[in-house]
């Protein structure tokens, strides 16, 4: 198993600076591509939300891993080291799917709570 080393601050900031616009671009692209699904029945809207939200998070995580290496998300441990497990492709996909499903489930609740019916996509 690979032991993570500390990632330099400049490399970490570069990874974030590139990953956030990438996530936005992927989200906007999927939003445009899934327009018919977003206007369909509730199940199709849910599936479109999962793809849009999860796709953006997955794209950000992939870019961060490519720029910062597999230990980009490793933080200091209680023992003072950086011996966290490296981020794998499987973990990135599960994270994207999980955040996509959670975001798709919470979106209608947040829209109704805030009273913005025009945000229901």
Angstrom distance (rounded) from CA 103 to CA 111: 12
Angstrom distance (rounded) from CA 9 to CA 120: 39
**pTM of the complete model:** 0.80
Specify the pLDDT at position 83: 59
Specify the pLDDT at position 40: 80
pLDDT in 10s for each residue of the chain, 121 residues = 566 677 788 888 899 999 999 999 999 999 999 988 888 888 999 999 999 999 999 999 999 989 988 877 766 667 666 656 778 889 899 999 999 999 999 988 888 888 876 666 5
Helix 42-68 / helix 89-114 crossing angle, nearest 10 deg: 130
Angstrom distance (rounded) from CA 23 to CA 34: 16
């Amino acid at each position: 198993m690979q032991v993570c080393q500390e990632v330099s601050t400049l490399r970490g900031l570069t990874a974030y600076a590139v990953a956030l616009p990438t996530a936005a671009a992927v989200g906007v692209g999927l939003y445009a591509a899934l327009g018919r699904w977003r206007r369909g029945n509730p199940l199709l809207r849910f599936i479109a939300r999962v793809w849009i939200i999860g796709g953006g998070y997955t794209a950000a995580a992939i870019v961060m891993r490519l720029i910062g290496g597999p230990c980009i998300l490793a933080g200091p441990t209680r023992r003072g080291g950086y011996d966290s497990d490296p981020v794998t492709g499987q973990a990135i996909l599960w994270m994207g799917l999980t955040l996509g499903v959670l975001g798709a489930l919470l979106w209608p609740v947040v829209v109704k709570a805030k009273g913005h019916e025009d945000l229901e996509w």
